[in-house]
Structure formats: C-alpha cells, structure tokens
C-alpha cells in the first residue's frame, strides 16, 4: 500500500541463495509466487501454525500456500510481510513448465 511493491522501482530482489539462508526461527523467509516474505514475526500468529511455515522456510511455499486455499484476508496479510521479490534469474528454478504429458500424480 504505501509500499510500492510492483512499481518496478523500489523492488528489492533477493537471490535464491539468500532466501535459502533464512530458514531458521531466527529468520524465516518464504517465497510465494516469486515474492519473498519475511514471516519471522508471523510464525506464532499464523492460524495454520508455525510448523508449516518452518517447513517451507528458505524455499518456495507457493504450492502449499495455494493448496490451503488461503482467504483474501490471508493474502492481504501476506503483503504486509513482503520484503521483495525473487531475482528474475532464480525464478526459473521454480517455474514448473506445464508438462501435461502422461498421467502424473493424481491430485489428492
């Protein structure tokens, strides 16, 4: 809101390696849709529990985040923990190309 997160300016980019280091309770960062969130202070308040966040710490939590079907409220809440974005060069590492080939694992 007062933070211009997608303006193209004022966006801080983090390398994947930097994010990966923030995987402790001292500092917990997660990636959702190529955005980097510092949820350190949120751990205890997360309605879904701190453990699930810890499990994703330092890595990409997009899938788990979406799987839960977080509310609009939750998404707005997330934006208050936004600290930057994943460096464009590191995004490919997460983008899973839509290979809808043979029967992959069925959704369960």
Residues of this chain that bind ligand HEM (CB under 6 A): 30, 37, 39, 46-48, 52-53, 56, 61, 64-65, 68, 70-71, 73-74, 77-78, 81
Q: Give 11 or 82: the residue with its C-beta nearer to ligand HEM.
A: 82
Q: How far is the CB of 103 from ligand HEM (least distance, A)?
A: 26
Strand partners for 54: none
d(CA 13, CA 49): 28
Residue placing its CB nearer to ligand HEM in the complex, 76 or 89: 76
**Alpha-carbon span 7 to 59, nearest angstrom:** 24
> Residue 96's CB: how many other CB atoms inside 10 A?
8
């Amino acid at each position: 809101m007062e933070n211009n997160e997608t303006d193209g300016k004022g966006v801080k980019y983090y390398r994947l390696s930097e994010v990966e280091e923030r995987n402790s309770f001292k500092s917990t960062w997660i990636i959702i849709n190529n955005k980097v969130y510092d949820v350190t202070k949120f751990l205890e308040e997360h309605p879904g529990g701190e453990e699930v966040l810890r499990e994703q710490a330092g890595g990409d939590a997009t899938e788990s985040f979406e799987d839960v079907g977080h509310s609009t409220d939750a998404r707005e809440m997330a934006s208050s923990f936004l600290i930057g974005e994943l460096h464009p060069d590191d995004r490919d590492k997460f983008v899973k190309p839509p290979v809808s080939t043979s029967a992959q694992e069925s959704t369960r």
